[in-house]
A and B are shown apart, each in its own frame.
Chain A
């Protein structure tokens, strides 16, 4: 699999993501600077976690207008696979590649702890190594993870099966309907708040996050 990880000023989980992807695919992903205007030939674009541009406007709002985003829109429109984690999820919603928005956590504090996620469907590029209903652990680390959308959008997401992951042990950040991750209508863009990439090594406490990367690697094995 050829994966590219986008680095914005303030991105800080690109190394974690590279380790997770390399662990499953056997090859190092390329790092893509936010000022690039073209993408190399890729199977997967990843927007990793961090504080792009300091998140001083709204989380992800500046990054959503970075030069590379035009190329990523084109890549997505052509059916490319895009994964956004944490700040990457926020950027995807700000870029309107995914619906909804991520507000300040309901408790108004940064949260950093493991949560349990429930897989809502097992037939996407991102979830194919799980079955619907599977539970897995993932570290979360964010201040703005409170997923919100209008009721009609939420109904549509649920009706069309576009919820990828839900918090299984209550919504720690106040997210509507416990939504932790969503999908685009073509199921090729996925955004989620927790960090599966930080739980891919038994030494770090488990490999709960590995199915996401193993599934992608298998899909694009070539």
Chain B
């Protein structure tokens, strides 16, 4: 960056600050800022770090429950899971870097979210990821899928944290702006949680991990801007990951955390040394003084501006007890990591940055945080979706099923999962695809954690309030379907430009819907991340937003992991459908895939019935009367039946559908709040459900090696598997 440029409103705009924001800065500083100071303000006030457009809405989300230990505001959310243990988890986006450089973008996304979790004292025990790619017809999509999958695997496999779940959608709205949302879950003793608030005037500020280079400078600002055709030229702002160093950092931090040396700790994520030092000191209400001469550097001649703005990966900032500094140094030297005392805490309430004897920055911390921009951006309603109208069935049930189970949004993800190490740790009870939620046991305990990520962006696009609520409800449902008690969620809110009123309208409505579902289901938000400006600009200058995608990461607990059920259909069991079926085809996959239409309202959500049905299902699973369970989602009832049959390599004979609903609506409608259960005695289950006020019916019985429709037609498991398995290998064939 140009050290010789004139510092003023023009450079501030290049750094992403508006004229008003620059005016506020001048008011705080009461003088012209230095280049380093301008850099610090611009990243701290970027959308990515300040949440300036989203904060007013995020505040409305419920974040409390008796089991919540730390909600939003820390590096990750923390919930009590029993036995004196806490689960620590968060999901975070790495969307823009993953378009520019898919492998490194995805890899460093995994690395960043891992650090958010182990910085709180947790050993990471599982990774998940929610991915959205562009059209399968777009030749770029293939390259991005390949890089993202390799990047997630390359990082997660090396650090030795199993990748156990996630989701993948394809839609043209993500052309040029894929979404890579990575989630990490860790476990710590609940009395050994580490926080970021600095304390103890005079205490040393210590830098550990990799040396600092020039990579990623202004990454947070890039993540807060729209993309255009020159995006590739921003490749230098993408960071490069080193999972080996991350692995060492995990082990070294956890080893030091077993002592009493650490007062406060935070990873250097977006905006690197700037955000970590500013936030740690700010949260602790103290001042901080840094001497950059002591920062480990891997390039020569770095300026203060570059060091403060670098987003080099695998770095942490700690405040230590002064009498434990040498103990800490020995731990990091054992793990062959850089360790440097780069400053100390002060009572000035200011951040002072020195380099080569000069003061390069001197900023009062309180106004930097308190005067951060906060926008009540205008909102506007989105146009209502095209009416559903008449929905003829041009292909029939059998052909539609075969098509749907092979379509990009439902087809087998085995090609992807087979590149992720899902068993390292030896605690993976349900691997990817084996159940509605992944289940991982806590080492040396019986407790199991159930984990899922969910969002149906086409619902959110059609009705953001309903779609936001549905994403939360589906996560709750997926955790319930394995028998877990849903505890809390992390949210990753991916939207277009907040400067477009209709995008802000989607954002506000989606949050309203999420909040309704969270409250109805006692399922608070404990951590999250907002990614705005997910737009691509066509060469003709028009800007297009992604589908609104509030991805939900859900966490639930099983007191005994052995009680978890999967979705594999066993032989000689009744298949029971619970929940009400009205045949909702609006925004269904059947409508999109068979009729080529994205129309109608998404299926309605009854949160009271949702809770009643889910609580009943969970109760039956924990009572041991359910052999397999699967919630109904994309593709509806018949797709869910086929998925259970394929997972269990077991056929099933289905009875006639209920009257009053057309066959295509019955078999492929996406009515919410429904589950399929494999049970020994279907009639007894239906009767128990009826007594609980839940609709249910025996749908059929398992056996044989095919799916037999009420018409008598049988689709062999081999044909189902062939149709289900073909998509990814064909897309990614050399």
| B418 & A113 in contact (Cβ 8 Å cutoff) | yes
Q: Which of A15, A20, A200 contacts B425 (CB 8 A)?
A: A15
Q: Kindly state the separation between the CA atoms of A19 and B424 in the bound complex, as whole angstroms.
A: 12
- B516 adjacent to chain A (CB < 8 Å): no
| A19 & B426 in contact (Cβ 8 Å cutoff) | yes
Interface stretch among A51-59, A72-80, A93-101, A174-182? A51-59
Chain A residues near B154: list those with CB within 8 A: 110
Q: Kindly state the separation between the CA atoms of A9 and B335 in the bound complex, as whole angstroms.
A: 7
| B158 & A203 in contact (Cβ 8 Å cutoff) | no
| A112 & B425 in contact (Cβ 8 Å cutoff) | no
Residue interface bits A4-42, CB-to-B below 8 A is 1, else 0: 000001101101100110000000000000000000000
- A118 adjacent to chain B (CB < 8 Å): no
- Name which of B159, B248, B419 has the most chain A CB atoms within 10 A of its CB: B419
Q: Which of B150, B336, B426, B431 contacts A20 (CB 8 A)?
A: B426
| B158 & A54 in contact (Cβ 8 Å cutoff) | yes
Residue interface bits B406-439, CB-to-A below 8 A is 1, else 0: 0000000010011111111111110100000000
The smallest C-beta distance from A14 to any residue of chain B, in angstroms, reads 9
| A110 & B244 in contact (Cβ 8 Å cutoff) | no
| B418 & A111 in contact (Cβ 8 Å cutoff) | yes
Q: Kindly state the separation between the CA atoms of A166 and B423 in the bound complex, as whole angstroms.
A: 21
- A141 adjacent to chain B (CB < 8 Å): yes
Chain B residues near A222: list those with CB within 8 A: none
Residue interface bits A80-121, CB-to-B below 8 A is 1, else 0: 000000000000000000000000000001111100000000
| A198 & B335 in contact (Cβ 8 Å cutoff) | no
| Tally of contact residues, A, Cβ under 8 A | 31
The smallest C-beta distance from A25 to any residue of chain B, in angstroms, reads 16
| A54 & B243 in contact (Cβ 8 Å cutoff) | yes
| B418 & A50 in contact (Cβ 8 Å cutoff) | no
Given A15-B426, A16-B425, A51-B158, is A10 in contact with B419 using a C-beta cutoff of 8 Å? no
| A111 & B160 in contact (Cβ 8 Å cutoff) | no
- B441 adjacent to chain A (CB < 8 Å): yes
Q: Kindly state the separation between the CA atoms of A15 and B251 in the bound complex, as whole angstroms.
A: 13
Closest Cβ neighbor of B564 among chain A residues:
A203
Chain B residues near A109: list those with CB within 8 A: 150, 419
Closest Cβ neighbor of B159 among chain A residues:
A12
Residue interface bits B649-682, CB-to-A below 8 A is 1, else 0: 0000000000000000000000000000000000
Given A110-B419, A112-B417, A204-B429, is A13 in contact with B244 using a C-beta cutoff of 8 Å? no
Chain A residues near B150: list those with CB within 8 A: 109-110
The smallest C-beta distance from B209 to any residue of chain A, in angstroms, reads 14
| A139 & B423 in contact (Cβ 8 Å cutoff) | yes
The smallest C-beta distance from B364 to any residue of chain A, in angstroms, reads 42
- B443 adjacent to chain A (CB < 8 Å): yes
- A195 adjacent to chain B (CB < 8 Å): yes
Q: Kindly state the separation between the CA atoms of A126 and B561 in the bound complex, as whole angstroms.
A: 31
Chain B residues near A49: list those with CB within 8 A: 424
Residue interface bits B39-56, CB-to-A below 8 A is 1, else 0: 000000000000000000
With A15-B426, A110-B419, A112-B420 given, name 20 new contacts (CB 8 A): A12-B158, A13-B160, A16-B425, A20-B426, A51-B158, A51-B243, A54-B244, A112-B153, A112-B421, A113-B414, A113-B418, A139-B423, A141-B421, A198-B423, A198-B424, A203-B441, A203-B561, A204-B423, A204-B426, A204-B427
Q: What are 19 A-B pairs at a CB distance below 8 A?
A: A9-B248, A13-B160, A13-B424, A16-B424, A49-B424, A51-B243, A54-B242, A55-B158, A56-B244, A110-B420, A111-B419, A112-B418, A112-B422, A139-B423, A141-B424, A198-B423, A198-B426, A200-B426, A204-B423
